[in-house]
């Protein structure tokens, strides 16, 4: 995803998906001027189908713990609601 030129920061996690069983959730912070549509097109061209995110969540920032690591608990809370950027 980074090589698409659209992403400033990203975390990819597995999530239950009612259609696929398990799905890939891509939480991304887009670069200034970055486009979610351009990122989707990049993934469709460059990634094998089984690696395509089933859902994208565009965030202002990826939450981090006090130690500076990704805060997966907060990330789950932020992305638990209805799909905002699928």
Domain at 2-79, CATH from 1.10.10.60, 3.30.420.130, 3.30.300.30, 3.90.1150.10: 3.30.300.30
Exposed/middle/buried for residue 22 (C-beta within 10 Å: 0-12, 13-18, 19+): exposed
Q: Report domain extents, the chain.
A: 2-79
Read off the pLDDT of residues 28-85 as tens digits, 9 standing for 90 and up: 999 999 999 999 999 999 999 989 998 899 999 999 999 999 998 888 888 886 544 4
Put simply, whether the predicted model's pTM sits higher than 0.85 gets the answer no
d(C-alpha 83, C-alpha 49), whole Å: 21
Residue 86 has pLDDT above 80, yes or no: no
pLDDT value, residue 83: 47
Give me the residues paired with residue 24 across strands. Answer: 14
pLDDT value, residue 82: 54
């Amino acid at each position: 995803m980074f090589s698409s030129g659209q992403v400033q920061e990203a975390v990819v996690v597995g999530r239950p998906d009612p259609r696929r069983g398990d799905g890939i959730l891509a939480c991304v912070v887009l670069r200034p001027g970055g486009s979610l549509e351009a990122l989707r097109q990049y993934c469709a061209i460059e990634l094998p189908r089984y690696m395509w995110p089933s859902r994208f969540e565009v965030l202002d920032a990826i939450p981090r713990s006090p130690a500076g690591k990704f805060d997966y608990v907060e990330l789950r809370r932020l992305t638990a609601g209805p799909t905002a950027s699928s």
